[in-house]
């Protein structure tokens, strides 16, 4: 029960890494509050987690929705101990595609803006909403989901990579600014993880992912959830401003 009675907010908590994190944290005694846009899946998960859990439908890109969510959690639970900034989307596409000297296609501005709004501004919105409460209560933990693609780039993901690299940068800034208040801030950079979305990819793509991972398999959502569990616990009390890769060695193997 490493997180007994710790009030934990998890964005994008209805599926994938967020869902696994909610399940692991609940088993370790946390009072889990998830937000997501998938109301059906979110409510089903909360029913599984028990009476101390709660679901909110929140668009993390909307500052007003985020603030209302955080304020309501405080009214209900009186504190927020952990924030896991997990919500994220992809809108992949080539930066520029040329043929015979002519522009054929390029990443659309809307695709860039939507990914930045959720993956980067959403992290900013949620962390900024909880931080004053954490300062008043004397501390807390903020955990941000980055990606190994932020460390080495990835074909067709200019927008996604930009946001995940930005998350690492914000993590380092917040570690400098918030450490004095007893707020620890860290990031996790997952590799290829067998979430519902990834498992729907063609078998050839999945095999290629495994081939580029020295451990020879895709990660499981629980692999990331366990990293978050350690970072949220007192066992990681002196870990601050770090980005931990949980990727089966993929950076080495690329």
pLDDT 10s digits, 130-187: 999 999 999 999 999 999 999 988 889 999 999 999 999 999 999 999 999 999 999 9
The predicted-structure confidence for 193-210, as pLDDT tens digits, reads as follows 988 877 777 888 888 888
- CATH homologous superfamily of 7-253 equals NAD(P)-binding Rossmann-like Domain (3.40.50.720)
- Report the distance separating Cα 118 and Cα 137, nearest Å: 28
- Report the distance separating Cα 205 and Cα 239, nearest Å: 35
pTM of the predicted structure, to 2 decimals: 0.94
Phi first, then psi: give them for residue 202, nearest 5 degrees. -60, 150
The predicted-structure confidence for 77-107, as pLDDT tens digits, reads as follows 999 999 999 999 999 999 999 999 999 999 9
- Report the distance separating Cα 155 and Cα 143, nearest Å: 26
Residue 18 is predicted with a pLDDT of: 97
Residue 253 is predicted with a pLDDT of: 53
Tokens of 123: 């992290």
Residue 196 is predicted with a pLDDT of: 80
Residue 114 is predicted with a pLDDT of: 97
Residue 197 is predicted with a pLDDT of: 73
Residue 129 is predicted with a pLDDT of: 98
Mean pLDDT of 217-234: 96
Residue 74 is predicted with a pLDDT of: 98
Closest of 145, 152, 148 to residue 167, by C-alpha = 145
Residue 198 is predicted with a pLDDT of: 77
Active site residues per annotation? 160
Q: What percent of the chain has pLDDT over 70?
A: 98
| CA dihedral (233, 239, 243, 246) positive or negative | negative
For 203, residues 6+ apart whose C-beta sits below 8 A from its C-beta are none
Half-sphere exposure of 137 (CA within 13 A, CB side): 18
Residue 139 is predicted with a pLDDT of: 98
Residue 252 is predicted with a pLDDT of: 62
* Average pLDDT taken over every residue of the chain: 95
How many other C-beta atoms are found inside a 10 Å radius of the C-beta of residue 177?
A: 12
The predicted-structure confidence for 19-35, as pLDDT tens digits, reads as follows 999 999 999 999 999 99
Residue 61 is predicted with a pLDDT of: 98
| CA dihedral (26, 75, 14, 169) positive or negative | negative
Three-class HEC string of the chain: CCCCCCEEEEECCCCHHHHHHHHHHHHCCCEEEEEECCHHHHHHHHHHHCCCCEEEECCCCCHHHHHHHHHHHHHHHCCCCEEEECCCCCCCECCEEEECCEEEEECCHHHHHHHHHHHHHHHHHHHHHHHHHHHHHCCEEEEEECCCHHHHCCCCEHHHHHHHHHHHHHHHHHHHHHHHHCEEEEEEEECCECCHHHHCCCHHHHHHHHHCCCCCCCECHHHHHHHHHHHHCHHHCCCCCCEEEECCCHHHHC
How many other C-beta atoms are found inside a 10 Å radius of the C-beta of residue 109?
A: 9
Closest of 73, 51, 54, 67 to residue 14, by C-alpha = 54
The predicted-structure confidence for 39-86, as pLDDT tens digits, reads as follows 999 999 999 999 999 999 999 999 999 999 999 999 999 999 999 999
The predicted-structure confidence for 106-117, as pLDDT tens digits, reads as follows 999 999 999 999
């Amino acid at each position: 029960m490493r997180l007994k009675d710790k009030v934990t907010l998890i964005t994008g908590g209805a599926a994938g890494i967020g869902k696994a994190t909610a399940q692991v944290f609940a088993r370790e005694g946390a009072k889990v509050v998830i937000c997501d846009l998938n109301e059906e899946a979110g409510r089903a998960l909360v029913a599984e987690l028990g009476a101390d859990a709660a679901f909110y439908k929140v668009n993390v890109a909307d500052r007003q929705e985020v603030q209302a969510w955080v304020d309501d959690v405080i009214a209900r639970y009186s504190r927020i101990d952990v924030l896991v900034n997990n919500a994220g989307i992809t809108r992949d596409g080539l930066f520029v595609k040329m043929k015979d000297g002519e522009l054929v296609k390029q990443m659309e501005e809307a695709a860039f803006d939507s990914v930045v709004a959720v993956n980067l501004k959403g992290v900013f919105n949620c962390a900024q909403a909880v931080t004053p409460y954490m300062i008043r209560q004397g501390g807390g933990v903020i955990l941000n989901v980055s990606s190994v693609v932020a460390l080495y780039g990835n074909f067709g993901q200019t927008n996604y990579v930009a946001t995940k690299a930005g998350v690492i940068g914000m993590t380092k800034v917040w570690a400098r600014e918030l450490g004095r208040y007893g707020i620890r801030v860290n990031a996790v950079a997952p590799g290829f993880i067998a979430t519902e979305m990834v498992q729907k990819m063609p078998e050839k793509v999945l095999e290629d992912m495994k081939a580029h991972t020295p451990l020879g398999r895709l990660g499981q959502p629980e692999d990331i959830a366990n990293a978050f569990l350690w970072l949220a616990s007192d066992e990681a009390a002196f870990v601050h401003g770090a980005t931990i890769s949980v990727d089966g060695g993929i950076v080495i193997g690329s």
